[in-house]
Amino acid sequence: MTLDVAIVGASGYTGGELLRLLLGHPDVRVAKVTSNQFAGDRVASVHPNLRKLTDLKFTQHESVESADVLFNCSPHGAAMDKMETYLKRAAKVIDLSADFRLRDPAVYERWYSSKHRAAPLLSEAVYGIPELHREAIRGARLVATAGCIATSAIVALYPLFKEGLARGNEVLVDSKVGSSASGRSSEPGSHHPERSGVVRPYAPAGHRHQAEIEQELSMRAPARVHFTAHAIELVRGISTTSHVFLAKSLDEKEIWKVYRAHYGEEPFVRIVKERSGLYRLPEPKLLAGTNYVDVGFARDPHSERLVVVSALDNLVKGSGGQAVQCMNLMHGLDETTALTFPGLHPS
């Protein structure tokens, strides 16, 4: 089986990373890559890391007439007006924007300050974290991949909330985010002299990914999430530190068993907790270019506080890689196909 794939909005960082992965996928033929801005230009002129790997040229968005899989990498707000058309032109659609991640239109309106213009499709879209929704993804025709920061927090915290171990169903989350998460378009905050060397709390409260975290952790009761995001000098990567106060006293061995029970068989979740060394807890530097999310923890000996640390590459497991993982599941392929790059050390 060879899948004909189209990528809408392929000129951004997310589209380029998705294209990098799909060009190495043995069951995929990339048929169309679109960019209204760069229509007619060779892909390698925008994504120079793909030189000699493809002769594709960008086309206009409307040039996609049919595909087995359509990946939407357009900015937030663009997909909802086109999704009905995409679902007619492609058997399966994977949306990498934020347009279909939230199931409740009222929640969407509260966080995005506008009504959703394709609200009936929100209930159909499957939230694209395979570790949580694998079986639903297999049967979906529309998958909305999770936000990069949201993925780092949700995967790290899911076992605790699933088992009712977070006191008050509450958590404090702090994420340090690399500059590529802001996308290709420049703005004052991404200008190198302003970004270099910073640890800037760009969203001390009110970050939209909080809504996704709350949605996915509200299994037993509504989750109470207190979230802050910092911009740091790193280009790729997210490091998320979460503080949970345990509902019952557990030692580190018991906490380890909880995580092993949920993630022991997961191909892309690694539980990282070493007794010594530089990398005894998750570190995003080791994950650049990979589809892994590393999760570790430390138990505060003076209280019931559990510090959970997670790391991932925002462009792979936080975006393009997770989308490919979903595509593999949707078509009965080995889930790990084209996603087994182990990372570099040193890098």
Residue 281 lies in a domain: yes
CB-based burial label for 207 (10 Å; 0-12, 13-18, 19+): buried
Same structural domain, 49 and 190: no
Nearest to 156 by CA among 60, 251, 281, 51: 281
Over range 312-321, report the average pLDDT: 98
Mark whether 326 is an active-site residue: no
Please report the pLDDT score of residue 184 as a whole number: 72
Burial class (CB within 10 angstroms; exposed 0-12, middle 13-18, buried 19+) of 192: exposed
- Out of 80, 146, 148, 315, which one is annotated catalytic? 148
Question: What whole-number percentage of the chain has pLDDT above 70?
Answer: 100
Percent of the chain exceeding pLDDT 90 equals 91
My answer on whether 81 and 199 are in the same domain is no
Residue 268 belongs to some domain of the structure? yes
Label residue 188 by pLDDT band (50, 70, 90).
confident
Tokens 């009504």: give the residue: 115
Q: Sorting pLDDT into bands at 50, 70 and 90, what band is 318?
A: very high
Considering Cα of 73, then 177, then 130, then 212, what sign does the dihedral take?
negative
What per-residue confidence (pLDDT) applies to 132? 98
Q: Do 158 and 298 fall within a single domain?
A: yes
Q: Which helix (H) or strand (E) holds 192?
A: helix 192-195
Could you tell me the residue range of the domain that residue 304 belongs to?
Answer: 149-312
83 and 182 co-located in one domain: no
Q: Lowest mean pLDDT: which of 110-114, 182-186, 189-193, 311-315?
A: 182-186
Q: What pLDDT, on a 0 to 100 scale, did the predictor assign at position 195?
A: 85
Decide if 141 is inside a domain.
Answer: no
Q: Residue 162 phi/psi, 5° resolution?
A: -60, -40
CATH of the domain at 65: 3.40.50.720
CA–CA separation, 30 vs 20, rounded Å? 11
Q: Please tell me the total count of domains within the chain.
A: 2
- Residue 69: band (very low, low, confident or very high) from pLDDT cuts 50, 70, 90: very high
Q: Tell whether 43 is covered by a domain.
A: yes
Out of 124, 159, 193, pick the residue that ends a domain.
Answer: 124
Task: Note the pLDDT of residue 180.
Answer: 86
**236 lies in the same domain as 120:** no
**116 and 164 housed in the same domain:** no
Pair (211, 259) in one structural domain: yes
Q: Would you state the pLDDT for residue 275?
A: 85
pLDDT at 186 over 80: no
Among 185, 208, 220, 3, CA closest to 91: 3
Per-residue confidence band for 61, with pLDDT thresholds at 50, 70 and 90 = very high
Residue 60 belongs to some domain of the structure: yes
Pair 175, 259 in one domain: yes
Q: What is the pLDDT of residue 110?
A: 97
175 plus 120 within the same structural domain? no
Ramachandran category for residue 314: left, alpha or beta (phi over 0 → left; psi -120 to 50 → alpha): alpha
For residues 179-200, average pLDDT = 82
Asked if residue 137 belongs to a domain, the reply is: no
Say what the pLDDT of residue 194 is. 85
Distance between CA atoms of residues 249 and 24, nearest Å: 47
* CATH code of the domain containing 267: 3.30.360.10
Residue at 84 is within a domain? yes
What is the overall mean pLDDT for the chain?
96
Are 182 and 111 found together in one domain?
A: no
Indicate whether 56 belongs to any domain.
yes
Model confidence pLDDT, tens digit, residues 199-232:
999 999 999 999 999 999 999 999 999 999 999 9
Six-digit token pair at 216?
A: 């996915």
Q: Are residues 101 and 166 in the same domain?
A: no
